[in-house]
Amino acid sequence: MLKNYFKIAIAVLKRRKFFTFISLFGISFTLTILMVATALTDKMISPDYPDFKRDRSLYVERMEFKNSKEGWMNSSNVSRYFLQHYVAKLNHLQMVAITSTSKASNAYVNNKKLVINYQYTNADYWNVLEYKFLEGKPFAQKQIDNAEMVAVITRETKEAYFGDAPSVVGKYISADNINYRVIGVVENVSETVRNFSGDMYLPYSIAKEDGNSTNLMGGYNAVLLAKSEDDLPKLRNEFAQMVKRLPIPTDFDKLYCNADPFFTSITRRLGGDATNEAVGKVISMAAGFLLLFLLLPTINLVNINITRIMERSSEIGVRKAFGASSKTLVYQFIVENMILTFLGGFIGIVLSLLVIFLINETNFVSNMRLSINLTVLCYSLLACVFFGLLSGVYPAWRMSKLNVVKALKA
C-alpha cells in the first residue's frame, strides 16, 4: 500500500512542478536557516577552545554605580584593583583569570601595516583557560612581577609577522614601536569566544594604566574558577556578599556587580541589566521566534496543499464512488505530504552542509569552525515530521468532507 502511495505522490509532484518547487523550497530553506542558526548558537554558548571549564566558572564583566534619587548611573568593566584586592580573596575561589579589554596596535611588515589586537593578562589566565601552545610557554608570575616585555602571540600573528619561520621563540615583535620578546605561540581563538580572542597577550604589569589606582571600575574582565562544580553556587553567593560591602563612591547610592555562569552572562547582556538576569525572557523570545519561523512556512504549505488537493477533487470523487473510505483517503494524503516533507528535509540537510562548508572555507568569522550538531539534526527532522503532519492533516480533513456528487462535477 505504501509503495502505491509513494508512486502516486511522485506522480503528483511531477505533474504540478511549480507547487512542488514552492513546497520543497519552503521546507528546505526553513530547515537550512534553522540548522545554520543552531550551529552558530551552539558555537556561541557551548564550551569551546580555550574556555573549557565553564561548568565551574563565573564571569565578571560589568560594574554599575547608580544614583536612584537622580535617576542616573555609570557602568564600565571592572578594575584590576577590584579583582586583586576583593575578588582574589574569596574563600571558594581556586584561581582568577584576569584579562583586559582588547586594544589595537600597529606593526609594519615589508612596509605594510599589520593591526595586532592585544590584551593584558595575569599569570593564572593561562591556568584557567586551556590555550594550545604550539611553541614556548606562557609568562609566569615572576615575569609579571619584573614587568618583563614578553609576549605570547597566536599562530596567525606569527605567520603574518614572521612569515614561514620555523620557530619564533626568543625573537622580537614590534607593535606601536615597542619591542616584545616572544616566549610562546598559541593556536588561534575564534572571535565567537568573547573576551579571549586576540592576536597577542602581554603581562598586565606593563600596562600603561596607573597601578596605584583604587578605582573599582576599569578596563578588565575576569573568569572566577571555583574549586569544584559544587562550590560554584557558594562562590557566587560569596561574591554577592562581598559586593554588598564594597565602598560606594560619592554621588551614588547603589552598586551592582555580578558573577554569572556563562549562559546567564549572555542573557543578562542580551535582555537584562544589573538586577535582572533575563534568562526566562531571552529563552521565551528565542522560542517565540523559532515557533514563528517554523509556523509561517507551515501555514503556506497548508494553503498549497489545500489548492493541490482541491484540484484532485475529480480523482477523489471517483475513488469515493468506488468505495474508498474517507479514512483511507486521509491516510493517503497525509503519507503524500510526509513524502514531500522528507524530500524537503533531505534537501535542507544537504544545503545546510553546503552553507556551513562555505562559511568555514571563506573564514566568514575569523577562526570560527561550524559543525552540524547531531542532536539538533535529530530534533530538526522531528520538527519536519511534526509540521509535515500538521500541514497535511487539515487539507486531508477538508478533502474527506467532499461530497461525492460535487467532487465528480468538479
Residue 131 near residue 138 (C-beta atoms within 8 A)? yes
Count of H helices and E strands in the chain?
13, 13
φ/ψ region of 278 (left if φ > 0, alpha if ψ in -120 to 50, else beta) reads: left
CA–CA distances in Å: residue 137 to residues 131, 152, 165, 301, 388? 10, 8, 18, 58, 55
Contact 136, 191 (CB under 8 A): no
Return the residue matching grid coordinates 527532522.
Answer: 381
Supply the pLDDT for residue 40.
Answer: 82
- CA dist 61 and 399 (Å) reads 59
Neighbours of 14 (CB within 10 A): 9
Looking at residue 119, its pLDDT comes to 96
Residue 216: its pLDDT value, please? 94
Q: What's the CA gap between 264 and 272, in Å, rounded? A: 10
Q: Phi/psi at 256 (nearest 5 deg)?
A: -125, 135
Exposed/middle/buried for 69, CB within 10 Å: 0-12, 13-18, 19+? exposed
Question: Which DSSP symbol is given to 215?
Answer: -
User: How far is it, in rounded angstroms, from Cα 187 to Cα 189?
Assistant: 7
Q: Bridge partners of 65? A: 74, 255
- Are the CB atoms for 164 and 158 separated by under 8 Å? no
- Kindly state the helix (H) or strand (E) to which residue 389 belongs, with its residue range: helix 374-400
Q: Are strands 103-109 and 112-121 parallel, antiparallel or unpaired?
A: antiparallel
**92, 124, 207, 299, 301 from 231: Cα distances, Å:** 6, 19, 33, 49, 51
- CA neighbours within 13 Å on the CB side: how many for 14? 6
DSSP character at residue 248: P
Q: What share of the chain is helix, strand, coil (3-state, %, to 5)?
A: 50, 20, 30
Residue given cell 592576536 in the structure block:
199
Each residue's pLDDT, cut to its tens digit, for the chain (410 residues) gives: 667 767 776 777 777 777 778 778 877 888 888 888 888 888 888 888 999 999 999 999 999 999 988 888 999 999 999 999 999 999 999 999 999 999 999 999 988 999 999 999 999 999 999 999 999 999 999 999 999 999 999 999 999 999 989 999 999 999 999 999 999 999 999 888 878 989 999 999 999 876 678 899 999 999 999 999 999 999 999 999 999 999 998 889 999 999 999 999 999 988 888 899 999 999 999 888 888 877 777 777 777 777 776 777 777 777 777 777 777 777 777 777 778 788 888 888 888 889 888 888 877 777 777 777 677 677 777 776 776 677 777 777 776 676 766 666 65
Cα 373 to chain centroid, rounded = 12
